[in-house]
Amino acid sequence: ADDLHAAPSQYTTTEPQTPFNKATTYNNFYEFGTDKSDPARNAHTLKTRPWTVQVTGMVKKPLTLDIDSIMKYRPIESRVYRHRCVEAWSMVIPWDGYSLSQFISFCEPLPSAKFVQFLSLADRKQMNLPGGFDWPYSEGLRLDEAMNPLALLTFGCYGQTLPNQNGAPIRVVMPWKYGFKNAKSIVKFHFTDKQPHTTWNDQNSSEYGFYSNVNPTVDHPRWSQARERRIDSTNSILPRFIPTQMFNGYSDQVASLYTGMNLKKYY
Amino acid sequence: MSKRAIIALKVLVHFLCLVPFAWLVHSYNSGALALKADPVNYITHFTGDWALYILLACLAVTPLRRFSPKLAFLIRFRRLIGLYAFFYATLHLATYIILFSGYDIVMVLNGIRTGQPGVIIKEWKIVWPPILNDLLKRRFIQVGFFAWLILLALALTSPAFIMRAMGGKNWQRLHRLIYVAAIAAVIHFWWLVKTGVRTPWKDTAVLTILLLARIAFTAMKRLRAKPALSTRTTKS
């Protein structure tokens, strides 16, 4: 990984960070295997250069962009975000990138575009792509969610370019949503007027909603979401439980996006 | 097989069944376990995996024995292996109840040391509601707990004197529940993983083969019995 020069950001939590080795060895990146230790073991086969990103759908002009030009488009900021997995564990990770909104503005979506879909790489030559899933991985946001300044277009973490298992070379991070919303190794941004299909919602819609905002009052059918195991540098076999916060503690920034919405129905 | 050889083999079986547990203890002592990102998750899966592997090994004894009369001695290890399956299943359950629930063992141990054993109950009162909620609401927990209850009943009735007291037929009827426990354990695994994840397929395949082997054996026994019956009818 190469060092990234990142400036500090106002959107940063001062909570103790998850050590680098834990954040890079405990990953959900099913393209490289379904066990959390698989991505760190298998993702070395991913080729992150050359890498192009397509911008398609309801945009002024479809584009094919080179990863390095996207990275240089705006200054990189370092943002320390809480990261809450739907599986009830959480980390605190310093991400490096710039606001997704800046990239979306560059893409010039048409006024009719209401959603943005992220499609990840699905290449059998580089990835395991286990059966039982409809690859490529697809995620999406309402356009106003994607334009929220917290949504981060991410190229690095811990001051260096993303390790492959963390979604190199380009991913998104939405800190107020469960981790699976953060599409990794993106090759396409597709703008549309209809809610895009998303991989985990396709797999099991009763367990993974389209919105998937962190919400301690809406249980996952198989476990409570009221609290989380914080993965930090404690190094104890006893888990450190903390209460889960609404919108993962980012209510001030994002709650207005959902005014009037029934968040139990739109989980 | 000589008595000596059986004893040597029993020691070996004990040793093999204890290797996973020793590995866990070693990882704990060396600190490697605590360095893992999510130790509780690891311990839960580790003990659950081994409970199921050893349960399957226990179920493999009878089909293996039928391959050859020379393998008849294997039956002497079945109870031992079964009890180890119960041991790992209990560790698995204990991990869930004590570690996964957030029960603060460190505080409890300190409480005991400083003469305040009341903390045992106090902590339990905190963790009990979510455990009860899981048990009432979540089917993967229910089916897993059901499998453990069966193993508990089988373990409690495993001593020879209880078998004698129960009578062989009754004892055998009860102990056939091991099939139900194994099926419940595999269902527990499937209901636990996310939709699309196929990790439990290997355990499922082994269990299916072991169950089919029994059905095939019973069917063959019936087929062989038939000609004997027909000769009897012609005679009369």
Q: What is the mean pLDDT of chain A?
A: 97
Instruction: Measure in Å the smallest separation between the Cα of A130 and chain B Cα atoms.
Output: 8
Q: Kindly tell me the burial class for residue B185, based on how many C-beta atoms sit within 10 Å of its own C-beta (0-12, 13-18, 19 or more).
A: buried
* pLDDT at residue B231 greater than cutoff 60: no
Q: Does B94 touch chain A (CB under 8 A)?
A: no
- The pLDDT mean for chain B works out to 92
In this predicted structure, what is the pLDDT of residue B69? 86
First to last CA, chain B: 45
ipTM above 0.95, yes or no: no
Tell me if chain B has a CB within 8 Å of the CB of A243. Answer: no
Q: pLDDT grade, residue B232 (50/70/90)?
A: low
Q: How confident is the model at residue A186 (pLDDT cuts 50, 70, 90)?
A: very high
Q: Residue B105: its pLDDT value, please?
A: 83
Domains observed in chain A: 7-258 (3.90.420.10)
B2 pLDDT band (50/70/90 cuts)? Answer: confident
Please answer yes or no on whether B38 and A237 come within 8 Å at the CB atom: no
- For A86, residues 6+ apart whose C-beta sits below 8 A from its C-beta are A178, A179, A180, A208, A212, A220, A225
Question: B146-189 pLDDT, tens per residue?
Answer: 999 999 999 999 999 999 999 999 999 999 999 999 999 999 99
> Does residue B130 have a cis bond before it (omega within 30 degrees)?
no
What CA–CA distance (Å, rounded) separates B143 from B188? 6
Helices (H), chain A: 20-23, 38-42, 67-73, 100-107, 143-146, 199-203, 251-254
What is the average pLDDT across A33-57? 97
**3-state class (DSSP) for residue A118:** strand
Task: Please report where in the chains the tokens 């839960």 appear, as a residue.
Answer: B44
Distance (Å) from the C-alpha of residue A21 to the closest C-alpha of chain B? 8
Instruction: Give the tens place of pLDDT for each residue, A64-115.
Output: 999 999 999 999 999 999 999 999 999 999 999 999 999 999 999 999 999 9
The predicted model gives B22-32 an average pLDDT of 96
Comparing CB atoms, the residue among A18, A131, A236 nearest residue B34 is A236
Closest Cα in chain B to A130: B197
For A217-266, write each residue's pLDDT tens digit.
999 999 999 999 999 999 988 899 999 999 999 999 999 999 999 999 99
**Cβ–Cβ gap B138/A223 under 8 Å:** yes
- Domain map of chain B by residue range? 3-222
